[in-house]
Each structure stands twice: as structure tokens, then as C-alpha cells.
């Protein structure tokens, strides 16, 4: 066993401004064993073997199954995708151990003039694992990437994941961020928009309860002309759940005609649920479009009353309203099969 000394996680401490509201002490005092890469016998994910998808399934960080129908290069921790790759990619990360550290990183290298969808899932069976991950994106010129990230880990697991996209000229990363599991999950984003007409667009949904704490901590820097970033998060918090939306965007002198959006919307279902939302802008130019805001509230009583007047119970009406929040985000995903999987999970 060893104390927590993960290579990426030392950043997540209360000495860092962005983590001042995060409860990291309960993680750093734990001890974990090294990953033994033991084989997983009870592995039943046939429902993810979608026709027309490239699939890559990891179990305890080892490749369990793969079916790459396109010419996709997989070398060590790097996946290379070229413009001839027309089929979507589905990657499963499955963890079945206890008190174990998992530290597998991946880098997506997307060649010029590509248009690709990547769906990556994190699921676990047992408990009290520490999953420390990094995802790099190298997106070449004139490319479009739709990346869907979903974590539904055990409610006793801890997750610290860092995303560092490099988006070249005339390229776009559309990022969907779904957080449903994990006791503590810290999603860190470092985004530099250095090239003209590069774009980062994130839609996040956090739906948690009990004692879960989920943080989206985003730092975006605009350096290129005509760059744009849009970071929108919806939170549905029940019981004594805690969500953190810490977003800082800096627009530097060279980034004329940039566009920046930051927005947090939170629905509190429990009296003890907490949201800490802190959207921030640092702007050093005059020629740009920018907006930011954060709203918090409960379900609209007038709408609940209207639905109940049409024969629904209060529980049914509440469920319908919450599903409407989720469906508004899911509708923006281009692939219907993926939308259905997310609903099932």
C-alpha cells in the first residue's frame, strides 16, 4: 500500500485557488495499492458493441476487446485518427478492483480535415479506487471533433481527470461532459486557443445526490484571432450533493473578434445541496463578444402545479421536468445510438 502521490493529483489541493472549495483531504489521507492489471472475468458489455463503430474496451487498464474497423493507429497511449476514418469511436474504461490506483493516460491525435465522434465511458464495479487520468487532444487544421465523456463510477471511487486540448486553425472541439457517479470527481480543463478560428464548446451535465462532490475547473486562454469558447453547465443536485463550477477565461491582446460564453444553471432538489459557481472573465481587448452568468433555483412550482393539474403526481411531474433538462443537452449529440446509451446508463 502507498499514500496518494499520483503524478497529476498534487495540483488538486487547497493551496491552488481553483480547488479552495474542494474537499480533497478525505482522498489524500487514504492509502492505495498498485494496479496489478488482473484479468476481469465478469465482463459483459455487449450492449456497447454498436454496429458501425470502432470499439476499444479497457479492463483494469489492459485492452480486453477491440474492433477497429477503420485505419486507426493505436500505439501505447496514443490513438491516431485520419480523415479517412468515417465511423465513430467508442472507448470503455472499466475498473474492477478495490483500493487501487489507476493511472492510464490517452492522447487523441486527429489529422487535418477530419470529422470524427469519440464516445468515452468510465465505469467501475467495486469501490474506493483512485482513478487519475489525462486526456490530450491534438486536433490538426480544419478538423471537427465531437467528444462525449461520461463517468458513472462507483459512489465510493475517486476521479481526477485532466483534459488538455490543442486545437489548430479552423478546427473545433465539441465536448459533452456527463457526470453521474464517483464520490469525488475533479474534471480539470486547460485550453489554449492559440490559432485563428479555433473553437472549444462544452456542454456539461452533473446529476448527483448523497455526499457526492463533482467539480468542473476550466482555464481557457484566447490568443488567436476569431477564436471562440462556450462553457455551459447544468447541475441537478439532490440530498447533500456538492457541485463546483470554477471557470476562468482570459482573452489576450492578439485575440481580436473572439467570442466567450460562460454559463451555469443549477437545480437544487435537496435542502443541503450546494453549488459553488464562479465564472470569471479577464479581457484585454475591445473587439469581442462575451457573456457569463450563473443561476440557481428549485423546480418551478407553477410548472409543477400545471403538470399536476393535468393528472400527473408531483413525483411524475418532477421527473418530467428533470428529464427535460437532460434531454435538452442530449439532443445536441449528433448520434442517436449514443443518446440512447446515455439514457440507459
Distance CA 197, CA 200 (A): 10
Instruction: Write down the pLDDT at residue 15.
Output: 53
Instruction: Write down the pLDDT at residue 125.
Output: 85
Percentage of residues in the chain having pLDDT higher than 70? 93
Distance CA 61, CA 232 (A): 31
Residue that wins the pLDDT comparison between 9 and 271: 271
The 10s digit of each residue's pLDDT in 47-98 is 999 999 999 999 999 999 999 999 899 988 999 998 889 899 999 999 998 8
Instruction: Write down the pLDDT at residue 134.
Output: 94
CB 186 within 8 Å of CB 215: yes
Instruction: Write down the pLDDT at residue 32.
Output: 84
The 10s digit of each residue's pLDDT in 164-197 is 999 999 999 999 999 999 989 999 999 999 999 9
Task: Kindly state the greatest CA–CA separation across the chain.
Answer: 59
C-alpha cell, 45? 458489455
Instruction: Write down the pLDDT at residue 247.
Output: 94
Instruction: Write down the pLDDT at residue 5.
Output: 57
164, 233, 120, 209 alpha-carbon torsion, rounded to 10°? 120
Mean pLDDT of 250-257: 94
Mean pLDDT of the chain: 90
The 10s digit of each residue's pLDDT in 282-313 is 999 988 899 999 999 998 889 999 999 999 99
∠ Cα 93 96 98 (to 5°): 125
Lowest mean pLDDT among 18-32, 67-81, 247-261: 18-32
C-alpha cell, 64? 480486453
CB 103 within 8 Å of CB 97: no
Surface-to-core class of residue 275, CB atoms within 10 Å of its CB (0-12 exposed, 13-18 middle, 19+ buried): buried
Instruction: Write down the pLDDT at residue 174.
Output: 98
Q: pTM for the complete prediction?
A: 0.93
The 10s digit of each residue's pLDDT in 106-150 is 999 999 999 999 999 999 987 789 999 999 999 999 999 999 999
CB 221 within 8 Å of CB 248: no
Which range among 7-11, 200-204, 276-280, 320-324 has the greatest average pLDDT? 200-204
Residue that wins the pLDDT comparison between 223 and 34: 223
* b/e per residue 130-163 (b: at least 16 CB within 10 A): bbbbbbbbbbbbbbbbbbbbbbbbbbbbbbbbbb
The 10s digit of each residue's pLDDT in 4-17 is 555 555 555 555 66
Phi, psi of 255 (to 5 degrees): -95, 55
Instruction: Write down the pLDDT at residue 1.
Output: 42
Give the DSSP per-residue string, 110-168: E-TT-EEEEEEEEEESSS--EEEEEEEEEE-TT-EEEEEEEEE--TT-EEEEEEEEEE-
Q: Which helix (H) or strand (E) holds 63?
A: strand 62-67
Mean pLDDT of 225-243: 95
Amino acid at each position: 500500500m502507498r499514500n496518494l502521490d499520483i503524478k497529476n493529483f498534487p495540483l488538486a489541493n487547497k493551496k491552488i485557488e481553483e480547488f479552495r472549495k474542494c474537499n480533497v483531504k478525505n482522498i489524500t489521507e487514504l492509502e492505495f495499492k498498485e494496479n496489478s492489471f488482473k484479468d476481469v472475468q465478469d465482463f459483459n458489455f455487449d450492449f456497447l458493441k454498436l454496429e458501425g463503430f470502432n470499439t476499444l474496451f479497457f479492463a483494469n487498464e489492459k485492452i480486453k476487446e477491440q474492433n477497429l474497423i477503420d485505419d486507426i493507429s493505436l500505439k501505447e497511449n496514443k490513438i491516431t485518427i485520419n480523415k479517412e476514418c468515417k465511423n465513430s469511436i467508442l472507448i470503455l474504461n472499466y475498473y474492477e478492483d478495490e483500493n487501487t490506483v489507476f493511472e492510464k493516460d490517452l492522447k487523441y491525435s486527429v489529422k487535418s480535415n477530419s470529422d470524427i465522434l469519440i464516445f468515452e465511458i468510465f465505469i467501475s464495479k467495486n469501490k474506493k479506487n483512485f482513478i487519475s487520468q489525462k486526456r490530450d487532444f491534438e486536433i490538426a487544421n480544419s478538423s471537427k471533433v465531437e467528444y462525449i465523456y461520461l463517468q458513472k463510477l462507483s459512489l465510493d471511487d475517486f476521479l481526477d481527470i485532466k483534459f488538455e486540448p490543442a486545437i489548430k486553425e479552423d478546427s473545433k472541439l465539441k465536448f459533452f461532459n456527463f457526470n453521474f457517479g464517483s464520490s469525488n470527481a475533479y474534471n480539470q480543463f486547460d485550453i489554449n486557443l492559440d490559432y485563428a478560428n479555433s473553437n472549444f464548446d462544452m456542454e456539461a451535465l452533473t446529476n448527483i445526490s448523497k455526499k457526492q462532490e463533482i467539480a468542473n475547473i476550466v482555464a481557457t486562454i484566447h490568443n488567436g484571432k476569431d477564436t471562440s469558447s462556450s462553457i455551459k453547465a447544468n447541475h441537478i443536485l439532490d440530498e447533500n450533493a456538492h457541485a463546483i463550477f470554477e471557470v476562468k477565461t482570459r482573452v489576450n491582446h492578439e485575440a481580436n473578434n473572439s467570442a466567450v460564453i460562460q454559463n451555469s444553471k443549477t437545480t437544487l432538489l435537496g435542502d443541503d445541496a450546494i453549488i459553488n459557481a464562479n465564472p470569471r472573465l479577464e479581457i484585454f481587448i475591445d473587439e469581442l463578444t462575451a457573456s457569463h452568468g450563473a443561476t440557481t433555483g428549485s423546480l418551478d412550482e407553477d410548472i409543477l402545479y400545471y403538470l399536476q393539474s393535468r393528472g400527473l403526481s408531483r413525483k411524475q411531474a418532477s421527473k418530467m421536468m428533470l428529464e427535460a433538462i437532460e434531454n435538452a443537452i442530449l439532443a445536441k449529440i449528433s448520434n442517436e445510438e449514443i443518446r440512447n446509451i446515455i439514457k440507459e446508463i
